[in-house]
Structure 1
């Protein structure tokens, strides 16, 4: 059970980080680090204002559904679909991972203070026929679910808030994304420089922005290339972010779908769930 708990923790950490760093991150995107095309130009005020409007629009999001695909540092490729709500705080993800430590199909549900990880037949083979593992949303250090509470509390505007401050944020042009007419913006963000800039006038937004920068620093990311596709009503339609990290390449794309629509996530049946914490307590009682 110890091995399975550690495995599940790594999967959940990757998927939630992907949804927040990549995944609940509703408004940023990027190209390959090291490409400074346009970096010598001064940002156009009109462009900066347009990107800032999209960022501000994203600040008010309470719920979102999206498709995600790409590479997670040190974990290979992932793709799937996710939905989340901040109030109440719930998350549901269905992901497929390949080419890394974890392979196969995984489901993650966050309900209240519990995370449920499902792995279909793979999980049943390890969990005595049950399909879900229940884990508490607590900081268990680097090997566990550390930081997931903070990640789940972030909103989609957090990563996007870095783009308006890019020294070369620019308007790339008009593009159609899945039939939606959008304006494409891009920019390079130096993580160290972003950390030096003011966090913002509103404390909550500033705190989230600071946490996002800290996450990139923990990954060893020094430079990001962010691309943002903005559609009607200043709504973000798509974003992509790429960077080099100490653990490998980060290359995530997110296509945003339903915005501010109700998200309902139910905990798996207790009869189909293994709860290591409960089993530990039961064993402790038996041993006195």
Structure 2
């Protein structure tokens, strides 16, 4: 796969994983938003899905794993991460490996810190070892949908926008030893853009749809144990003038376990970080190398 294709696929993985915190900023009104669309007309399956965000956040914290795969022109780019997350305030720490590179990642107060390895570390100035990325400012700039910088826990908030008619109950299944109920839901693309109309329109153009299919597995307490998001997008940039480029198909699976586990996340020392937010805004969001 060419470096340009790798950059496109990596940015797509970032888009799937999300770009803002799952806690107070995106879900501070969990009790209100988590029941969006609920009411006397809501079916039991719709209520289960609508309540999933609130019940998952109420667990306080969890271990999480994220596995993502992006495919274009028959070639794959994969990423796998594992760590812990504070479900209430969105703080998380995770180690992500992709294409032979290992990245240590922390999210604190809406700021993403990444400690890259290999050649990526050489991009940092003055012997710094951590990148600092203000996810809120990145989102406001309109670059969020094109970045491979992401908060891995963001997708749990997607279900807040699900409506009763968009829920299908698939059946009972076991996920990592836990009994769960599998649901398939249709999420409006606007849920990914978090109220940013321009970004929602851009995502809809890339997807060719205003809705996104998402699979959920809820345990017997109504908490999210697994979520799978699949997308097929047009390239983030037209690499070959006059020729329609191959779409990028991506699948991301997010899993939660060990609810209530201890989580302590602190930002790296300021002296060891380099803020690259402005660079990302100017470059349209991508930290992936291209060429």
**TM-score higher than 0.5:** yes
- Does 1:266 find its partner at 2:266? yes
Aligned equivalent of 2:250: 250
- SS of structure 2 residue aligned to 1:57: helix
Q: Cα deviation per residue 1:57-100 (whole Å; 9 max; x = unaligned)?
A: 235454443101123598943211243336655332321223xx
- 185, 208, 224: which one pairs with 2:212? 224
Look up the match of 1:107.
104
Give, in angstroms, the shift of residue 138 of structure 1: 5.6
> What is aligned with 1:233?
221
Q: Report the number of matched residues.
A: 229
Report the Cα distance in structure 2 between the residues aligned to 1:125 and 1:162, rounded to whole angstroms: 41
Q: Distance in 2 between matches of 1:217 and 1:97?
A: 29
Q: Conserved in 2, the CA contact under 8 Å of 1:119 and 1:132? A: yes
Query: CA 1:177–1:55 in structure 2 vs 1: closer, same or farther (change >3 Å)?
Result: same
Q: How much does 1:255 deviate?
A: 0.9
Contact kept? 2:21, 2:110, Cα under 8 Å: no
2-side partners of 1:97 and 1:234: how far apart? 32
What per-residue deviation string (whole Å, max 9, x for no partner) do you get for residues 199-248 of structure 1? xxxxxxxxx78717866643233232221111121111111111222332
Structure 1 Cα separation of the partners of residues 78 and 275 of structure 2: 28
Asked whether the 8 Å contact 2:67–2:80 carries over to 1, the reply is yes
In 1, are the aligned partners of 2:162 and 2:188 still within 8 Å (CA)?
Answer: no
* Residue 112 of structure 1, CA deviation: 4.0
Q: Which runs of structure 2 are paired with 1:22-171 in the superposition (5 Å)?
A: 24=22, 45-58=43-56, 60=58, 62-71=60-69, 76-85=77-86, 90-98=91-99, 104-112=101-109, 114-127=111-124, 129-136=127-134, 139-140=137-138, 141-142=141-142, 157-167=156-166, 169-171=167-169
Unaligned runs of 5+ in 2: 1-8, 24-40, 236-247, 278-291
Give the conservation status (yes or no) of the 8 Å contact 1:121–1:131. no
CA distance in structure 2 between the partners assigned to 1:93 and 1:82 by the alignment: 4
Residue aligned with 1:266, SS? coil
Aligned to 2:30: none
TM-score (norm 2): 0.59
> Larger Cα Rg: Structure 1 or Structure 2?
1
